[in-house]
A and B are shown apart, each in its own frame.
Chain A
Amino acid sequence: MSVLWVLAKVAGGLGFGMIWAAFLGWVERKQSAVMQDRIGANRADILGFKAIGLFHIIADPIKLFTKEDFVPQGVRKAFHAVAPSISLGFPLLALAAFPYGGTVEFLGRPWSLQPVESPMGLVLVLGMVAVGIHGVVMAGYASNSYYGLLGGLRGASQMIAYEACLAATMAGAVFLFGTLDLAEAVAWQARMIGGVLPAWGIVLQPLGFVLFLIAGAALTKRTPFDLPEGESEIVGYHVEYSGMKFGMFMMTDLIESVVVASLATTLFLGGWHVPFLTAPGVSGAGVALPPFMGSALPAGLHGPILAALMLGSFTAKVALVLFVLMQIRWTLPRFRFDQLLDLGWKNILPLALANFLVTAWAIYLAKAWGIHIWG
């Protein structure tokens, strides 16, 4: 039973990513269009209904799946075939580690809404995303073309530029929460500062949040950090790919955006918490229905309703971060490579380390002097 539940949750996590990826394809086209005074995709229709272009969500995959999957002569066949799966698969797996909600009571037993309940959740996420970049490098190598190889090398180099910084930007928050367990990190953020301000990561670690967003944007390989692709210069690591294999590389970027947004939500935006709907101490998970709902609904249904609220809150926050990421993607031009390395090593990393040191000292001194800022 519990194995089935875990499998269902993992499938739910992957579905969360896939649905987002499909939806983001549409959001990307529409959001960029609206901010550039255009209309964007609006031609796909079903029986004359256009629904502001939403049917392009269906039309795009159909097109990708039915296109010719052309394997050029001279590519290294085995690597060429597995690279897209590695690139897409591992970031997808990372989505299994996020706490999409707390634990709810239903039918007399607790149900956790986190697919993989690991005390090393954060490490799991970072590891999976880091393995995913090997797909890019492999694709560049397998293409057996100079442009593809350059793209792959850029991908590897870019990983070096952001990976260390990404971990460093989260160090402050992790130290504050005192855990690598993502569910515990969310539970920690349920507390209030002075009873009014939620003790979310973004409140306590504003610098960390901004740096995390920048490093996270570099992780997604999207403009302004789309150097492995760099379509105007080298076409990119996927130059020898077509059909759905190419589509998988495109989806990777979107899935990675979802991972970054989920991570930002979990560590900095209080996870599934809604301020003032939380009541620390209640049922251990730190969430309660607002009183008016609690009395109006049959007690047996509280669990599913709570679960829906948590999932909705998590999704809304992810959507907000994705919106901002998308806006950044359509605002900035691409960085030069040396600029990216400078940004990573000379700017983000020192700032992130300074942020970590200040956090560590602040926590130490607060403990030593017995100051309690949050309840």
Chain B
Amino acid sequence: MPPQCSPPRGGGSRHGGLATREACGRVTVRPVERPERDLAVQVYLLEVLTGLGVTFRHFFLNLGRHAAKLLGVDGEPGSVTIQYPEDPPALGSRARTRHRILRRPDGAPRCAACLLCETVCPARCIRITAEESPEALIEKRARTFEIDLGLCVFCGYCVEACPVDAIRMDANDLDLPAFDRKDMIWDLRRLMEET
């Protein structure tokens, strides 16, 4: 049986949670040992020299690798930098990049305009206006569907939320930037484009 707890006295305390735990005596204390500071650590200069040793090693090693590459010798690369537009990065197969609206067999967007994605979106960057669908078996459809990729945080919640699997995200399409904020808002046509 768990130990009996008395309710926090004074009632309505803003720190009620804390008081209860203290009253229960169940606060566990883990003593943390302070690291011993020997003289070598106390005399900061030695540690500085160690640090400088690391940075100097990296500097000269990388310098040598860059020089070797300039001379046409194969070897380790001198940097881990990815030169983005010329040399696009290979993202993981589960990376989330641009959105995509899937189609029904007849080519119409699969979206049922349920607004679940708009509701769940933490960045509030989805705007949908719904309209009645002419087809008998489908209740609603999206008249407009816009995602502002300038605001999107690429969390993927919209993909998770969709009940009809209408929205998905590509894994490797990073070609999103635009020179105008307005161009970052993707409409239905753009979201359904095949590229």
A interface, CB within 8 angstroms of B: 31, 33-39, 210, 327-328, 330-332
Contact = CB atoms under 8 A, between A and B. Distances in A.
Residue in A35, A36, A328, A330 with the greatest tally of chain B CB atoms within 10 Å: A35
Given A34-B63, A35-B58, A35-B59, A331 B51 contact: yes
A37 B80 CA distance: 6
Interface of B: 45, 48, 51-52, 54-56, 58-59, 62-63, 66, 78-81, 83
Contacts of A331: 48, 51-52, 54-55
Nearest to B59: A35
Given A331-B48, A332-B48, A35 B79 contact: no
Given A34-B58, A35-B58, A37-B80, 6 more contacts: A34-B63, A34-B78, A36-B58, A37-B81, A327-B59, A332-B51
Given A39-B79, A39-B81, A327-B59, A34 B52 contact: no
A332 B48 CA distance: 7
Contacts of B63: 34
Contacts of A35: 55-56, 58-59, 62
Contact of B62 (A34, A210, A328, A332): A34
Contacts of B80: 37-38
A332 B51 CA distance: 8
B193 to A, nearest CB: 31
A34 B66 CA distance: 9
A38 B81 contact: yes
A51 to B, nearest CB: 12
B51 A33 contact: no
B33 to A, nearest CB: 23
A248 to B, nearest CB: 29
A336 B80 CA distance: 32
Contacts of A327: 52, 55-56, 59
Nearest to B66: A34
A305 B83 CA distance: 45
Given A330-B55, A331-B55, A37 B48 contact: no
Contact of A328 (B52, B58, B59): B52
A328 B63 CA distance: 18
A31 B66 CA distance: 13
Nearest to B52: A331
- List of 8 A-B pairs having minimum Cβ-Cβ separation, nearest first: A35-B59, A39-B81, A331-B55, A35-B58, A34-B62, A331-B51, A39-B79, A35-B55
B140 to A, nearest CB: 49
